Copies of this chain bind each other. A is one copy, B any other.
Amino acid sequence: MPAETTRRRGAALEADLLDAAWAELKAVGYTRLTMEGVAARARTGKQVLYRRWPNRAELVVAALRHRQGGSITDQVPDTGSLREDVLAVLRLMAERQRDIGQDVVHGVLAEIGPMRAQVFEIMRDVMATLLERAAARGEIPTADVPPRIMTLPTDLVRNEIVMRSEPLTEQTMSEIVDDIFLPLVTRRA
A29 to chain B, nearest CB (A): 11
The one of B103, B110, B163, B184 that contacts A158, using a Cβ cutoff of 8 Å: B163
What does DSSP make chain A's interface, helix, strand, loop or mixed? helix
CB-based contact B106/A110 at 8 Å: yes
Within 8 A of B (CB), among A135-168: 146, 148-149, 152, 155-156, 158-159, 162-165
Does A116 lie at the interface of the complex (its beta carbon under 8 Å from any beta carbon of B)? yes
Contact A146 B179 (CB under 8 A): yes
Whole-angstrom distance between the Cβ of A22 and the nearest chain B Cβ: 20
- Please, what's the 1-or-0 string for A19-55, where 1 marks a CB less than 8 Å from any CB in chain B? 0000000000001000000000000000000000000
Total contacting residues, chain A, CB less than 8 A: 32
Nearest neighbor of A30 in chain B, beta-carbon distance: B110
Interface assignment of A175: CB less than 8 Å from any CB of chain B: yes
- B117 contacts A179, CB within 8 Å? no
CA–CA, A158 to B162, complex, Å? Answer: 10
Minimum CB–CB distance for A55 against chain B, Å? 12
**Whole-angstrom distance between the Cβ of A88 and the nearest chain B Cβ:** 20
| A26, chain B: closest CB distance, angstroms | 18
**A93 close to chain B: CB less than 8 A:** no
A119 within 8 A of partner (CB) = yes
Task: Output the residue of A107, A110, A149 with the most chain B CB within 10 A.
Answer: A110
**Which of B109, B155, B179, B184 sits near A183, CB closer than 8 Å?**
B184
Assess the B107–A148 pair: CB atoms within 8 A.
no
- Cβ–Cβ contact B162 & A148, under 8 A: no
Known contacts: A110-B106, A156-B155. The answer to whether A176 contacts B162 by CB under 8 A is no
Q: List 9 A-B contacts (CB under 8 A).
A: A31-B110, A106-B106, A106-B109, A107-B110, A110-B110, A117-B163, A117-B165, A152-B156, A184-B184
